[in-house]
Amino acid sequence: MDSAFRGDLLRLGRQARKVTQTQLSSTSSLSQAFISMIEDDLRSPTAEQELALGEALNFPIEFFHLGDPVLGTGVGEIFHRKRKAIPKKELDSIHAWMNIKTIALRRLIAPIEWPEIDLPSKPVFLSPEDAARRLRANWYVNNGPIQSVSRLLQSAGVLVVPLETDNQRIDAIGQWTADLPPLIFVNPNIPQDRLRFTLMHELGHLVMHQRATNLSLSESIEEEANAFAAEFLMPEKDIKRDLRHLDIQRLAALKRTWRTSMQSLLVRAEHLGVVTPATLRRLWVEIGRNGWRASEPQELDVTGEEPFERYDEILWLYQSQLQYSSADVGKVVSLHSSDIEEYLIRKHARLRLVT
């Protein structure tokens, strides 16, 4: 085992299962006060008590002895207003599974030949729009619409990971630690037009806010990430002319071309000053009247993004190339096979081992 029994990993496992200390006390036959002291590293459980806690939470004992750090939420999470409205137990569970998947990926990626990370580690730029333009240039992105943002991220070594949530209030959370590729945890249930903007929003956080930057960390960072995403997906010099003389039919046609939502296009037109206030009000009323704020017309759905393709390749490598069972993968990452099958494994793809 990597280390002594860790109280922070007990708390992580408890939060992942959405279990209170009182509930864990009932299922483990340990007092709530004692569990609290263990989590605060004021007391150490006996081997028998470790077993009781592991069985109650359905984690192997080895999980509680891992040496990995438990990571915080990151700057993008601190200022995200929507997430503040999510019940604490649910948000704690989301963050716990992010940590558990990060711990698992650290082990699964270790023997893999990973693409070089092509993101600026200490970016210098004048504005979010400038950051987006420079990154498009560095990545040799053609003018105009981007067909697949997923492929761009994969080529840059960014790993998109499914986020364990059914809550539509949370789209994604980015994370970039020194010993792993940049990670973007994404709600797999959001439509692809929103997915594309969300991925670029989190990329903006990774580029501008999770490393040294000339922009201050403040309540404006969500707006900065939105501005980055808008310029990356809909560059001003390429789209400004398209956004003149808007009506609903034109917004629908532009969505097919630019592969962003009609609402994103309308907001972009407003920010670029090419739509009158009267037209803006009329179009928002029409969008609301048609019920398109929550879900735009199905016939306009954006398709073709495969955000989890590289993530799926990792599990495919172990399952198909190395012939690992779920139990074998579980031994690598200190999880039971039931969690491997429910929370980690998705589908097949391919990567190479370092030789």
Q: How many domains does the chain have?
A: 3
- Among 29, 48, 67, the domain-final residue is 67
**Residues 21 and 169 occupy one common structural domain:** no
**Residues 177 and 56 occupy one common structural domain:** no
**Residues 218 and 313 occupy one common structural domain:** no
Measured from the Cβ of residue 68, the count of other Cβ atoms closer than 10 Å reads: 18
**Residues 169 and 211 occupy one common structural domain:** yes
Alpha carbon distance 59, 13 (integer Å): 7
Structure tokens that stand for 325 in this block? 């069972």
Check whether 332 has a pLDDT greater than 80. yes
- Decide if 110 is inside a domain: no
- Decide if 74 is inside a domain: no
What is the average pLDDT across 177-200? 93
- Decide if 350 is inside a domain: no
Query: Please, what sign has the CA dihedral across residues 116, 307, 103, 68?
Result: positive
Q: Would you place residue 2 in the very low, low, confident or very high pLDDT band (cuts 50, 70, 90)?
A: low
Q: Which residue has the higher pLDDT, 75 or 343?
A: 343
Query: Which of the residue ranges 90-104, 204-218, 338-352 would you say has the lowest mean pLDDT?
Result: 204-218
- Decide if 44 is inside a domain: yes
**Residues 189 and 207 occupy one common structural domain:** yes
Q: Where are the alpha helices (DSSP H) in the chain?
A: 7-16, 21-28, 32-39, 47-57, 75-78, 81-84, 88-109, 128-138, 149-155, 192-208, 221-233, 236-239, 248-258, 262-271, 277-289, 309-316, 326-333, 337-339
Cα of first residue to Cα of last residue in the chain, in angstroms, is 27
- Find out whether 62 and 33 touch, Cβ atoms under 8 Å: no
**Residues 51 and 167 occupy one common structural domain:** no
Looking at residue 162, the DSSP 8-state letter turns out to be: E
- In CATH, what number is assigned to the domain containing residue 211? 1.10.10.2910
Structure tokens that stand for 6 in this block? 């860790």
Query: Residue 285 half-sphere exposure, CB side, CA atoms within 13 Å?
Result: 6
pLDDT recorded at residue 74: 67
Query: Which of the residue ranges 133-142, 164-173, 191-200, 222-231 would you say has the lowest mean pLDDT?
Result: 164-173
**Residues 248 and 277 occupy one common structural domain:** yes
Check whether 268 has a pLDDT greater than 50. yes
Check whether 117 has a pLDDT greater than 50. yes
Query: Which of the residue ranges 171-175, 247-251, 339-343 would you say has the lowest mean pLDDT?
Result: 171-175
**Residues 179 and 315 occupy one common structural domain:** no
**Residues 217 and 254 occupy one common structural domain:** yes
- Decide if 113 is inside a domain: no
- Decide if 293 is inside a domain: yes
- Decide if 257 is inside a domain: yes
Check whether 42 has a pLDDT greater than 80. yes
Check whether 52 has a pLDDT greater than 50. yes
pLDDT recorded at residue 165: 80
**Residues 13 and 36 occupy one common structural domain:** yes
- In CATH, what number is assigned to the domain containing residue 42? 1.10.260.40
Check whether 223 has a pLDDT greater than 70. yes
**Residues 7 and 156 occupy one common structural domain:** no
Coil, strand, or helix at residue 277?
helix
Order of strands across the sheet that contains 172-175:
159-162, 183-186, 172-175
- Domain with 17, as residue range(s), is 1-67
**Residues 199 and 236 occupy one common structural domain:** yes
- Decide if 83 is inside a domain: no
Query: Which of the residue ranges 126-135, 285-294, 345-354 would you say has the lowest mean pLDDT?
Result: 345-354
